[in-house]
Amino acid sequence: MSELTTVARPYAKAAFDFAVEHNAIAQWQEMLGFAAAVASNETVSELSGGSMAADKLADLYINVCGESLDTHGQNLIKVLAENKRLTALPEISALFDLLKAEYDKEIEVVVTSASELTDTQTTNLSASLEKRLARKVKLICNVDPALVAGMVIKAGDTVIDGSVKSKLNRLADALQA
């Protein structure tokens, strides 16, 4: 997976820079998302791994994607086909999404709580996290009754564990030491 990320990163960065320059980030995000879905299709991925000529493979992708790709998107598909990198399209799309989130100063935060959060709680939590992380926050709320009470917040590499389950585990470890 890390090798695929290494291969996909320069393509994602180039596509993102081009999209920013031409004020077409949303359009490129849609194009890459659609092309990634095509690349993830089982039949198409088998053809990508086969011995089909690069120009024929590029034409296949372009025909399948149809009007979802503009001229520049079609050129990207042709370059990827020539370099035998079409299988990296899903990773390119994912990296493009991350670059867009960074550009927009957004972050996806996963909140796992012991019980369902109310609208007031999510609003307050979102405001607090936006202030702390200095970004727009998109909350994804999950419920895990095993936490007993409290919540676990994951934002990128940052984890804030305020669950009772975690506190009980730390107490048990301290008592055993």
How high is the pLDDT of residue 23?
A: 85
Side-chain-facing half-sphere of 30: CA atoms under 13 Å? 7
Q: How confident is the model at residue 51 (pLDDT cuts 50, 70, 90)?
A: low
Q: What is the DSSP string of 66-95?
A: GGGS-HHHHHHHHHHHHTT-GGGHHHHHHH
The two tokens of residue 107 are 């972050």
> In CATH, what number is assigned to the domain containing residue 81?
1.10.520.20
Same domain assignment for residues 70 and 123: no
Residues 82 and 134 in one domain: no
CB-count burial class (<10 Å; 0-12, 13-18, 19+) for 68:
middle
User: What is the average pLDDT value for the chain, to the nearest integer?
Assistant: 82
Structure tokens at 34: 């659609």
Q: Are 111 and 141 within 8 A, CB to CB? A: yes
**Same domain for 97 and 160?**
no
Residues 90 and 16 in one domain: yes
The pLDDT value recorded for residue 50 is 61
Q: Please give the average per-residue pLDDT across 71-80, as a whole number.
A: 83
Same structural domain, 132 and 161: yes
Report yes or no on whether pTM surpasses 0.75.
no
What is d(CA 143, CA 170) in angstroms, rounded to the nearest whole number? 22
Residues 144 and 126 in one domain: yes
Same domain as 19, residue 84:
yes
Residue-number span of the structural domain to which 137 is assigned? 105-176
pLDDT class for 120, splitting at 50, 70, 90?
A: very high
Q: Which amino acid is at 71?
A: T
Residue 1 has pLDDT above 60, yes or no: no
Q: Provide mean pLDDT across the span 120-145.
A: 87
Q: How many domains does the chain have?
A: 2
Query: What pLDDT was estimated at residue 173?
Result: 86
Mean local confidence (pLDDT), 129-144: 85
Evaluate the CA torsion angle 60, 62, 63, 64 in order and state its sign.
Answer: positive
Q: Taking each helix axis from N to C terminus, what angle separates 42-49 and 25-40, rounded to the nearest 10 degrees? A: 80
End-to-end CA distance of the chain: 39
Segment 55-83 shows an average pLDDT of 79
For residues 45 and 109, state if they share a domain: no
Q: Half-sphere exposure (CA, 13 Å, Cβ side) for 7? A: 14
- Residues 10-33: pLDDT tens digits? 888 888 888 888 888 888 888 888
- Per-residue pLDDT band for 102 (boundaries 50, 70, 90) equals confident
Q: Do 18 and 63 belong to one domain?
A: yes
Mark whether 144 and 113 lie in a shared domain.
yes
Q: Which residue has the tokens 């791994």?
A: 49
The most confident of the ranges 82-91, 114-123, 143-152 is 114-123
Strand order from edge to edge, sheet including 136-143: 136-143, 106-113, 151-155, 158-161
